[in-house]
Amino acid sequence: MRHLTLVSVCLTGAMFLAACEQESPKEYVEKTFRDVNVVDESNLNDVMLTVADPNEAVTYFRSAAKEDPTRIDFQRGLAKSLVRAKRNQEGVSAWKKVIEMEGATATDKVDLADAQIRNGDWKDAEKTLDSVPPTHETFKRYRLEAMVADANKEWTNADSYYETAVGLTTRPAGVMNNWGYSKLTRGDFSEAERLFGEAVRQDESLFTAKNNLVLARGAQRKYSLPVIPMDQVERAQLLHTMALSAIKQNDIETGKTLLREAIDTHPQHFEEAVRALRALEA
């Protein structure tokens, strides 16, 4: 055992001396610790971008970027954190800075377009997406392209982009909900109903899609709830949505009946439904 330990020490010493032939012992030690710090720093960056409070992450990355403004990973982290914190105007400015830096990628441009859309800068987002190489085929890119096409009422393009985006993700519920809403605004209620139903099948927890599904059915005067998973509170809320849809189409008595059912279904006091029913009966 003593011989093995001696061999190990000698090998370590030989490796250290070999490194020192290229650089001084002090430089070698500093480089080793610097490499370790980069690994730890990378892990901390990931934590700040995923589980940390968004505004705390902004403070962290802003400080890090100030210390080393040439590090694109710090600038990216700052831009992402600003968007997570819903500070979209600042996020747009941060992403613009990122795409001007050495090492910027097409993904950075897509993230800039995302921030611009969140900030309501639709025309700027369109220009940004136009600058992304056509070879950059990602789910996020096509989802944003679809949203921009929707905003421009370019329905054929929007449908094509939505379809492509759905094929590029294993979790398509959100984009199917967006696609369904696009169909709903165009007055294609049956297709909207189909897409919302598919979104719910993909993600049973997506209440927005459930609510939109009821709106699509109500627009066709289908005043019965679809057969989908829902708890008691969700059922009451969906009955309330259907009641409002009926009232909007002047089916007042149907709306009253649905409001009463919503009130009876809800496990607590359903103030919104009660207020709507009182207004109708008054």
Residue 75, domain CATH: 1.25.40
**What single letter denotes the amino acid at residue 92?**
V
In tens, the pLDDT along 217-272 reads 999 999 999 999 999 999 999 999 999 999 999 999 999 999 999 999 999 999 99
Of residues 29 and 191, more confidence is placed in: 191
- Asked whether residue 138 is domain-assigned, the answer is no
Domain count across the chain: 2
In this prediction, residue 47 has a pLDDT band, given cuts at 50, 70 and 90, of: confident
In this prediction, residue 172 has a pLDDT band, given cuts at 50, 70 and 90, of: very high
User: In this structure, what are the phi and psi dihedrals at residue 249, rounded to the nearest 5 degrees?
Assistant: -95, 15
In tens, the pLDDT along 114-164 reads 999 999 999 999 999 999 999 999 999 999 999 999 999 999 999 999 999
Q: Supply angle C-alpha 243, 217, 143, rounded to 5.
A: 115
The reply to whether the predicted model has a pTM over 0.85 is no
* Whole-angstrom distance, CA of residue 192 vs CA of residue 172: 15
Distance (Å) of CA 23 to CA 16, 35, 80: 10, 16, 39
Domain stops at, among 53, 85, 104: 104
Return the closest-CA partner of residue 154 out of 129, 196, 186, 192.
186
Give the range of the structural domain holding residue 276, as residue numbers without chain letter: 230-282
At 225 the three-state DSSP class reads coil
pLDDT score, position 51: 63
In tens, the pLDDT along 2-30 reads 444 433 434 444 444 444 445 555 554 45
